[in-house]
Amino acid sequence: MSYTTTLSEKAPEEAVQPVSSTLSDYDADLSSSGYPESPDLEDREKYAGILADTKKTDKAAPGLGFIVWTAINVASTVAIVAFAAYHFFITGATLWVVSRPQCAIFIPKQVSIMQISPLAAAMCIQVVLQNLSLAYSSVMFHQLARLLLTPVVALLNYMLYSTKIPRAAVSPLILLCSGVGIVSYYDSLAMDSASAASTSSRGTIFALAGVCTSAVYTVWIGQYHKKFQLNSMQLLLNQAPVSTVLLLLTVHFTATPPLAAVPVSMWVLILMSGLFASLVNLSQFFIIHLAGPISGTVVGQLKTCIIVGLGWAFSTHPISFQSIVGIMLALAGMSL
């Protein structure tokens, strides 16, 4: 995301505050600026109209910044694989360094651990569920199931905050859900090849549970921005350490890899994955902050298309005709 003024040049206090077009706010502004206490009705209506126009301008298309951070998010996600706790440690450390006075990229803003814990917990749960989904289902089904994130986020926004989607978006969402359902059914059937990875019923449950948790996490990111008046870097700096600790608590329940047997070249790749994770996490927060939760999930669908395409190119897993139809329906619904 590119701005005409860098983040280091702007303090949080300089951020544009939400403007209210109510007459009570107008009276408060007049009293603080020396205007008469009882302005004419015509002046009041004119002032309210100016504020309404200002609000419309604030909600304009995100522009170049959104495009830049979307490109960063897509490119870095394709390059990243796992190491969630390590990734959040690198993310938190990177943000801490750039928030120091020597760098002054942004000014940190503290949020209590109790307040940030629900967001961090939602993030950790969706990471665990996604990894369990990958363990019990094919990579292609896992990625296609993630397409359901957009309709689930739209449903949550409507149920919790009465945010409606355009009627024109309903048909594409139906296509998308139908395609994922077709792939889910046919990909879960037994394959002739014993070595081919297929999707079990357990994998389907983990995938759908992961989608629901990810939807909650995505919606909450947008709400945390508004509730605590945090920018993307400030919010992620508060969340990353808590997420790291919560994910480390799950290590006890997983297999411990032989660290001494890991070659130096692999450690280099692990370090690179941490750097990519920092870009993924940071760009995701920027995208949701600029374009909203639903638009943020649509960016994820672009990554799904890339990963599905790579899966077709390199996978030896046989793909049935019905699965191909389901994939095409899902991608068509995503692109409409």
- DSSP letters, 198-224, are ---HHHHHHHHHHHHHHHHHHHHHHHH
For residues 132 and 142, what is the distance between their CA atoms, to the nearest angstrom?
Answer: 10
In a domain, 183, yes or no: yes
Q: Which domain holds residue 37?
A: 16-56
pLDDT in tens, 95-125: 888 888 888 777 888 899 999 999 999 988 9
Position 12 pLDDT exceeds 50: no
Residues 71 and 40 in one domain: no
Nearest CA among 188, 144, 198, 186 for reference residue 332:
144
Residues 169 and 43 in one domain: no
Residues 52 and 94 in one domain: no
Position 59 pLDDT exceeds 60: no
Report pLDDT for 139. Answer: 73
CA 44 to chain centre: 41
Report pLDDT for 10. Answer: 41
Contacts of 216 (CB under 8 A, 6+ apart): 122, 156
Residues 41 and 147 in one domain: no
Report pLDDT for 288. Answer: 75
One-character DSSP codes across 252-269: GGSPPP-GGG--HHHHHH
Residues 36 and 79 in one domain: no
In a domain, 45, yes or no: yes
Given a contact cutoff of 8 angstroms between Cβ atoms, the answer to whether 186 and 323 are in contact is yes
One-character DSSP codes across 121-156: HHHHHHHHHHHHHHHHS-HHHHHHHGGGHHHHHHHH
Given a contact cutoff of 8 angstroms between Cβ atoms, the answer to whether 150 and 297 are in contact is yes
Residues 231 and 98 in one domain: yes
pLDDT in tens, 189-227: 644 444 445 667 888 898 899 999 999 998 998 889 888
Report pLDDT for 117. Answer: 94
Tokens coding 41: 């009705």
Given a contact cutoff of 8 angstroms between Cβ atoms, the answer to whether 90 and 274 are in contact is yes
Residues 270 and 233 in one domain: yes
For residues 187 and 140, what is the distance between their CA atoms, to the nearest angstrom?
Answer: 9
Report pLDDT for 20. Answer: 44
Instruction: Give percent of the chain above pLDDT 90.
Output: 7
Residues 47 and 106 in one domain: no
Report pLDDT for 195. Answer: 41
Query: How many domains, the chain?
Result: 2
Q: How many other β-carbons are positioned within 10 Å of the β-carbon of residue 205?
A: 15
Position 308 pLDDT exceeds 80: no
Position 245 pLDDT exceeds 80: yes
Residues 162 and 91 in one domain: yes
Q: Which of 78-87, 207-216, 296-305 tops mean pLDDT?
A: 207-216
Helix (H) or strand (E) holding 98: helix 84-98
pTM: 0.59
Report pLDDT for 49. Answer: 54
In a domain, 9, yes or no: no
In the DSSP assignment, the letter for residue 15 is S
- Dihedral (Cα; 58, 61, 64, 65), 10-degree rounding: 50
**Which has the higher per-residue pLDDT, 214 or 186?**
214
